[in-house]
A and B are shown apart, each in its own frame.
Chain A
Amino acid sequence: MEFITSIFTDYTLRSVVFGSAILGIVSGALGSFAVLRRQSLLGDAISHTALPGVAIAFLLTGSRQPLWLLLGAALAGWMGTLIVMVVIGKSRIKQDSALGMVLAVLFGFGMVLMSYVQRTPEASKAGLDKFLFGQASTLMTEDIYIMGVLGSIALILMLLFWKEFKILSFDREFGTSMGFKMRLVDILLTTLLVIAIVIGLQTVGVVLMSAMVVAPAAAARQWTDRLGVMVLLAALFGALGGVSGAILSSMTHKLPTGPTAVLCISTIVIISLLFAPNRGLIYRQLSYLRRRRALAMNSVLLDLFELAQHHKRAEHPHPLNTLKSMSDRPERVERTLLELYDRGLVDKNTDGLWYLTSEGQSHAKKQLGEIGVMS
């Protein structure tokens, strides 16, 4: 309780919570499109190539004004994607290699610039190193305003061009055939992604920012089959991961925010991968086991039915070992028989022999009728 009230009274904590919530919402929402378009690596390239932009902006303006630094980051990130597109278009290098290459080269360039900048006395005060791994506790009110305005613009544009972004992600060529300038739509969506990444750089840092783009969307996809719900959930997960990561890092001296935020969002991803209905691993395993058990019961039931056909009475009993010899999983036959017994489909006579109850017989006949063996 004390903690919740401190969000509204403690200046630093309030900035941290608002800032990381904004970044989580925007990167989660726009990251959904990147993930659906199989462009997860694009976010990584944009954030890494933003680093030299930050350094160059500082060198040119000598200012620690966040607006200048973010503008530099955005321009560089945008240029990075442009270079990637040119490399893909003009050479035979595939997208993943082009992204990886541009990312590494420009990030390396950025690191060289950073170490140069760090040696100047003003720079260490400007705290440019926070752009590497992020430091939410350095967020000022001014930063929050900039993040809020840019983030709102990105989200409003996303909602305005929702239908265009959807067709771009699902069936780009169909969009082209209907007369939409899909290249323009692509550039717009990429620009919004650049904005989403840039507003998170100071908080999460260039190295791990792409996780805030990809992870919330990947987690959200597990829970829904609707694009709208997915984007909403991704925004929620992003905010949750961002805020919890920022708070955790703020409570520990000099712990960067990026890694803790990534750990928090990864927890959400793992939970989603495991427990989501339909797509979750545990759900799948359970439904697999359920299907296998149903199959085993059916096959023992039909074996008993078939055996009874050799005799006058349909209730003619048979020993367990006969059934075992007919099954491809003999060790499970006894357990399956007990399950069938629980359902009243089979019974055991005083000699320990198994037979079908009348209910079991009609059940078996129904099964055979369904697969078309009996007319």
Chain B
Amino acid sequence: MESSGVNALEVRDLTVAYRDKPVLWDIDLTVPKGVLMAIIGPNGAGKTTLIRSVLSLLKPAAGQVRIFGKPYDDQRQSVGYVPQRGSVDWDFPTSVLDVVLMGRYGNLGWIKRPGMNDHQLAMDALKKVAMDEFTSRQISQLSGGQQQRVFLARALVQQASLYFMDEPFQGVDAKTERTIIALLKELRAAGKTVVVVHHDLQTVPDYFDWVTLLNVRCVTSGPVKEVFTEQNLRIAYGGRVAFKSEAIGSETNQVT
């Protein structure tokens, strides 16, 4: 297969279980290149688990993952990752610039230290997320939104083709949300693929062009205009979660 025709992400028969309980069950998922995709679903649907098993951070019971047609181990350089903000200790003695430089470690490999070029990339990334004034600030003195932007800058310097972001909009201020959106659109314009775990159903049609509805199994996946329907949402959320139908958009209702 020609590499330009290969999908950014292909997941086949992925099943993940904690103890005996399946958290993800027989997931098949295809993400074409150059889309902004939201993964949505209720709490405990396995959204984070899906990302983590794609990144080999946990071992699935079964299934396989292909990134640009190859196993993840061969493609680590082309994958960037933004973990949940709460997953690290922000009291760690380090500076904003230092955290962003960590994104270069993968390209550097073992032992080698970041150099001038890496510093330049880190500074550019910090400028993009409007954090260039805070380069030497201790990370515990950042607001939640600023922490999130630092994490985004760290992923940017990975210079990846496929990005995974775990709830980047969780508890951030309006300014940060706008920065992230601008950044996502910029990434898409540059031909990158971005997969985002997302919570806010209202903003899905505005922010994303591709969506996966998840609830242990994959309810549906495809272009927002085609699959982000009230019916599919009811299946994913079990009909218990109320949502505004106008958020889904009149256009989408006509398509289905």
Contact B79 A177 (CB under 8 A): yes
Q: Which residues on B sit within 8 Å (CB–CB) of A227? A: 92-94, 98
> Which among B57, B73, B114 has the highest number of chain A CB atoms within 10 Å?
B57
A177-B138 CB under 8 A given contacts A161-B111, A164-B110, A225-B93: no
Minimal beta-carbon separation of A184 from chain B (angstroms): 10
Q: Is the CB of A226 within 8 A of B94?
A: yes
**Residues of A close to B99: CB separation below 8 A:** 170
Interface residues on B, range: 20 to 34
In the complex, the chain B residue whose C-beta lies closest to that of A220 is: B93
Question: How far is A179 from B103 in the complex, measured between Cα atoms in Å?
Answer: 12
List residues of B (135-169) whose CB comes within 8 Å of A's CBs: 138, 140, 154, 158
Q: How far is the CA of A229 from the CA of B92 in the complex (A)?
A: 13
Residue with the highest number of chain A CB atoms closer than 10 Å, among B92, B99, B154: B92
A32, closest chain B residue (CB): B93
* A247-299, CB < 8 A from B: none
A41 at the interface (CB under 8 A from B): no
Known contacts A177-B57, A177-B76, A177-B79; A171 and B95 CB within 8 A of each other? no
The stretch from B8-16, B81-89, B119-127 touching chain A is B81-89
Interface flag for B113 (CB, 8 Å): yes
Cβ of B112: which chain A residues have Cβ within 8 Å of it? 163
Given A170-B88, A176-B56, A177-B79: A36 in contact with B106 (beta carbons within 8 A): no
- Which residues of the partner chain B approach A166 to less than 8 Å between Cβ atoms? 94, 102
Q: How far is the CB of B137 from chain A (nearest CB, A)?
A: 9
A36-B111 in contact (CB<8A) = no
Judging by beta carbons under 8 Å apart, are A178 and B93 in contact? no
Q: Give every chain B residue within 8 A of A164 (Cβ-Cβ).
A: 105, 110-111
Q: Check B83 against A174 for contact (C-beta < 8 Å).
A: yes
B201 on interface, CB distance cutoff 8 Å = no
Instruction: Please tell me if the beta carbons of B83 and A36 are within 8 angstroms of each other in the complex.
Output: no
Asked if A224 lies at the interface with its beta carbon under 8 angstroms from chain B, I say yes
Q: Main SS of chain A's interface residues?
A: helix
In the assembled complex, B131 has its CB within 8 A of some CB on chain A = no
B235 at interface, CB cutoff 8 A? no
Give the interface centre of B56, B77, B94, B113 by most chain A CB atoms within 10 Å: B94
With A36-B92, A161-B111, A179-B76 known as contacts, the answer to whether A170 contacts B57 (CB < 8 A) is: no
Q: Flag whether A180 is at the interface (Cβ < 8 A).
A: yes
Kindly state whether residue B130 has any CB partner on chain A within 8 Å: no
Q: Which residues of A contact B154 (CB under 8 A)?
A: 174
Which residue of chain B lies nearest to A161 when distances are taken between CB atoms in the complex? B111
Nearest neighbor of A169 in chain B, beta-carbon distance: B92
In the complex, residue of chain B having the shortest beta-carbon distance to the beta carbon of A221: B93
Do B105 and A225 touch across chains, with their CB atoms under 8 A apart? no
Q: Does A148 contact B (CB under 8 A)?
A: no
Question: Is residue B219 within 8 Å, beta carbon to beta carbon, of the partner chain?
Answer: no
Q: Which of B89, B108, B111, B138 has a CB less than 8 Å from the CB of A170?
A: B89
Is A99 close to B, CB under 8 A? no
Judged by a CB distance under 8 angstroms, whether A339 is at the interface is no
Question: What are the residues of chain A within 8 A of B181 when measuring CB–CB?
Answer: none
- Beyond A171-B87, A177-B81, A178-B105, whether A224 also contacts B76 by CB under 8 A is no
Looking at the complex, which one of A167, A170, A178, A230 makes contact with B76 (CB distance below 8 Å)?
Answer: A178
Given contacts A164-B111, A176-B57, A177-B56, 16 further A-B pairs with CB under 8 A are A160-B111, A161-B110, A163-B111, A163-B112, A164-B105, A169-B92, A170-B99, A170-B102, A171-B87, A171-B88, A177-B79, A177-B81, A178-B76, A179-B73, A227-B93, A230-B93
Residues of A within 8 A of B (CB): 36, 160-164, 166-167, 169-171, 173-180, 221, 224-227, 229-230
A selection of 20 A-B contacts at a CB cut-off of 8 Å is: A161-B111, A163-B113, A163-B114, A164-B110, A167-B102, A167-B105, A170-B89, A170-B92, A170-B99, A171-B87, A173-B87, A177-B55, A178-B81, A178-B106, A179-B73, A180-B105, A225-B95, A225-B138, A226-B94, A229-B93
Which residues on B are within 8 Å of A, measured CB to CB?
52, 55-57, 73, 76-77, 79, 81, 83, 87-89, 92-95, 98-99, 102, 105-106, 108, 110-114, 138, 140, 154, 158
